[in-house]
Chain A
Amino acid sequence: MNEKNIKVLIVDDFATMRKVIRNLLKQVGYEDIVEAEDGVMALKALKSQKIDVIVSDWNMPNMTGLELLKAVRADPELAKTPFLMVTAEALQDNVVAAVKAGVNNYIVKPFTAEVLNEKIKKIMDSINK
């Protein structure tokens, strides 16, 4: 699957952070990017369009990344959507909780465009098998 055809949804309450991730994605060839400022908006975005992968922050107001993940997995229409969790630290408790809830992978801030791309690619490869 080509980067150009992968539609990424970035979820983060911090606008600058969304821009950071967007820029990184662009650097490695992603073009189709949408953003949501929290879990609630993300669910809305997911309902209205086909998203190929969610890149979501862990710590957000209203609905945390974990809650968003659980909501996505609980929704029959969205359940299969690949989910990449962005965390500030690789705190084992948090990561394991996310993994148990069905996260496809996680990435620790700060990360480079290459690592981000690699993680997304890995997810896309595994689900397209």
Chain B
Amino acid sequence: MMNYQKLVKMLNDLAQEFLVMESSELDIPTAGKFLNQLEEILAEAKELKIDPLRGCVSVLGRILEGTIMDTLQDKAAASGVLENGIHLMQNIVESYKNTGRYDGSIQELIDRGISLVGPVKSVAPEGSTQKEAGKDGGVIPSSAPQGEDKVEIMDESLTRDFITEGLEYIEEIEINILNLENDPENKDYINAIFRPFHSIKGVASFLNLEKIRSLSHNLESLLDRARNGEISVTPPLIDVVLDGADALKTMIGELRDVLEGKEPAPSGLDIPALTVRIKKIEEGFDIGAGGKKIGEILVDDGVISEEKLNQVLREKEADPSGKKLGQTLIEEKIAKPKQVSQALRKQVDRVTDMATIRVDTIKLDDLIDMVGELVITQSMISQDLKNQEHTDKRLARDISQFFRITSALQRISTSLRMIPIKQTFQRMSRLVRDLAKNAGKQVSVELVGEDTEIDRNMIDEIYNPLVHMIRNSVDHGLEMPEERIKAGKTERGLITLKAYHRGGNIVIEIADDGKGLDKRKILDKALGAGLIHTDEGLNDQEIYKMIFMPGLSTAGKVTDVSGRGVGMDVVKRAVEKLRGKIEIESEVGEGAKFITRFPLTLAIIDGMIVKAGPEHYVLPTISILQALRPPREAYNNIVGKGETINAMGRLMPLVRLYDMFGLEPEYKNPWEAIVLVVDSERGAKCLMVDKIIGKTEVVVKSLGEGLKNVKGLTGGAILGNGRVGLIIDTEGLFEMADQR
């Protein structure tokens, strides 16, 4: 015996509540309550298998939803139909209770319901999205010329807020889309991008900013479909969202111009084209540049003929359900699911095939070189603009857009040459194993941060100094197994190679858990070699740094046995040549750590621009210790020793830059000119120049084959004023000076 009691009570409650309600008053909360009640009734009807009841619930539900959405054709008739429906349901249940079936028909109710709410729709969201898009004129932006009309500011204060907050939101979008690119499945990221567009759209609609509203709406609905898993996050989707965010930024910029009473420059935005792209991706057409359509792959595979494909595609166009081609083909039994899924996989493979290509590094270098030129030209233009008295607002806007593009271009092009340091690390860990074996030591190697990226050209350069340091750690840092056991350590030593980015540099650490540097031994050696005269007043760092001095090696054994004769001074020089730095951390009995920092690229250097005679030269900032105008009495000319300057508490040889290159200087007396204290392997020297022009980052360019071996110069650079500046190789320059 079925239990109808509960259902009967539910229906009676519903009927009663409906009766006490005044007909005019089917308000939203009441409709909501009824909907919830109907849901419970439906569940019960399913349980008891009362099929006619389910139809009734569906009709009543749709009328209630129509009431809520205010889409009913005839509002007044609604409560009548609802009342009839509830009675009908009561009758059905009564009949089931008594006879187990219902012989009447619910067709009349359905007909009346349909006349109220319109015919049954198949998929609700699909229809509404399309309707929405159509309403906006989103698909075919017929209002394009009208869109160029000047923006009208409705409320100044609100518009100002909107500009500020809107730009912040777009920044947020940009950050999150990069996250999404790395993790396309992550719904949180999609949401984090969706929401700002949504918010911008909302406010724009109030401020009557139709262009902004429409674009953010289109982007939002694209992301909505991605969020619901209807389309996947592909590179074209990411691109179009980024372009959309860019376009919004530009439009908001225009808005600001209008607000400030400026004439907005023509943005050059092609919103209709962008909209079409969005729509295409939204409809799942664009699966990526060069990607083949699923139908084409199926034809290639011989699964279907081309004629058949075209026929299905035509039929599909007429069908508004928006099904995917593959789905249609399977449903109509034209292709087997397996064939379609194979084709889909091929499609994806082809797209990923496109993801990487091999490029000659020379081409890459050329590209980076040209981008470097572009950046410099850009700074020349900006310099010129600053010098103009009246700057054309429109031009300034365009230029700032141009700057944004060049800096993005520069970022991208430098990243092209970046590769993970993994390979180098792996080579080194093999080396450690070989070295350890030869030395009769046991070593484990730990690699941290192998994915850290570095300029391809730097990798070869840093390899040798790093190898020396590793040798040093294995040979001198780590103890023999028996010594380690005595010291209470594990038999097996550990070398850790670690890489990470910090402040525009790559930091590479080589750490061992050996005995650490012996300060006493270093000091004794240094005293013995006459490098220092007293061992007092030196801090740990200063003592450790002494191992980098030429002629100081605390481990006589290595030079004897291996005969390599490579001291740490060579390492230091090599590192500095790459404009890097070394630091040492050490704890006696615990181990030592060599921390090296290298610039990520050698293509750009931080330089000091100096003038000597009519020429500009660039000196690497890293080698300059001090710049001064020496007092007259600091200058000495000692026979046999040459000219000196007393700077930084020492007498240092004076090198006249103009003299080295045979130029006519502005000043011949050091006390009128500027003197730079420049560090070199040959000791610090004072370099005399006429003037310091400034400090800047320059892109290093080779002087070409013909001038490759000119002493004292490493290359050239185009300076901010468009002139060429030669980059000075201080080592070579001082070598020349010493030979005179």
Which A residues lie at the B interface, using CB under 8 A?
A: 12-17, 19-20, 23, 57, 59-61, 88-93, 95-96, 99-106, 109-110, 122, 126
- Inter-subunit contact A100/B32 (CB<8 Å): yes
CB-defined contacts of A15 to chain B, threshold 8 Å: 161, 165
Q: With contacts A91-B125, A95-B69 known, is A16 near B203, CB below 8 A? A: yes
Complex: how many Å from CA A93 to CA B35? Answer: 13
Contact of A110 among B161, B199, B206, B220 (CB under 8 A): B206
- Once bound together, how far apart are the Cα atoms of A106 and B29, in whole Å? 10
**Structural contact, A88 and B65, CB atoms closer than 8 A:** no
Q: In the assembled complex, which residues on chain B have CB atoms less than 8 Å from the CB atom of A16?
A: 158, 161-162, 165-166, 203
A-B contact count (CB 8 A): 92
Q: List 8 A-B contacts (CB under 8 A).
A: A14-B199, A14-B200, A14-B202, A99-B68, A100-B32, A100-B36, A101-B32, A109-B202
A33 to chain B, nearest CB (A): 15
B166 to chain A, nearest CB (A): 8
Query: In whole angstroms, what is the CA distance A10 to B200 when docked?
Result: 17
Q: Which residues of B contact A (CB under 8 A)?
A: 25, 27-29, 31-32, 35-36, 39, 65, 68-69, 124-125, 128, 132, 155, 157-158, 161-162, 165-166, 169, 192, 194-195, 198-203, 205-208, 220
Min CB distance, B130 to chain A, in Å?
13
- Complex: chain B residue closest to A13, CB-CB: B199
Inside 8 A of B68's CB, which chain A residues have their CB?
95-96, 99
Residues of A contacting B199 in the complex (Cβ-Cβ under 8 angstroms): 12-14, 17, 59
Known interface pairs A14-B165, A100-B36; A61-B28 also in contact (CB < 8 Å): no
Give the chain A neighbours of B203 by CB distance below 8 A: 14, 16-17, 20
Q: Are A106 and B28 in contact (CB under 8 A)?
A: yes
- Nearest CB in chain A: distance from B327 CB, A: 22
Q: Assuming A16-B203, A23-B155, A109-B205, is B198 touching A93 (CB within 8 A)? A: no
- Which residues of the other chain, A, contact B32 by a CB distance below 8 angstroms? 99-103
Q: Please give 20 more A-B residue pairs, beta carbons under 8 A apart, in addition to A20-B206, A59-B194.
A: A14-B202, A16-B161, A19-B158, A20-B158, A88-B220, A91-B128, A92-B65, A92-B69, A93-B124, A93-B125, A95-B68, A96-B68, A96-B69, A102-B29, A102-B32, A109-B202, A110-B205, A110-B206, A110-B208, A126-B25
CB A108 to nearest CB in B, in angstroms, measures 10
> Which of A20, A59, A101, A103 is the one whose CB lies under 8 Å from B195?
A59
Partner of A90, one of B25, B69, B157: B69
* Residue pair B29, A104 in contact (C-beta under 8 Å): yes
Known: A103-B28, A103-B32. A96 touches B65 (CB 8 A): yes
Among residues of A, the one whose C-beta sits closest to the C-beta of B121 is A92
Q: Are B69 and A89 within 8 A (Cβ)? A: no
Q: How far is the CB of B239 from chain A (nearest CB, A)?
A: 24
In the complex, A99→B28 CA distance in Å? Answer: 7
Q: How far is the CA of A96 from the CA of B68 in the complex (A)?
A: 7
Closest to A101 in B: B32
Contacts of A91 in B (CB 8 A): 125, 128
Residues in chain A near residue B27, CB distance under 8 A:
105, 122, 126
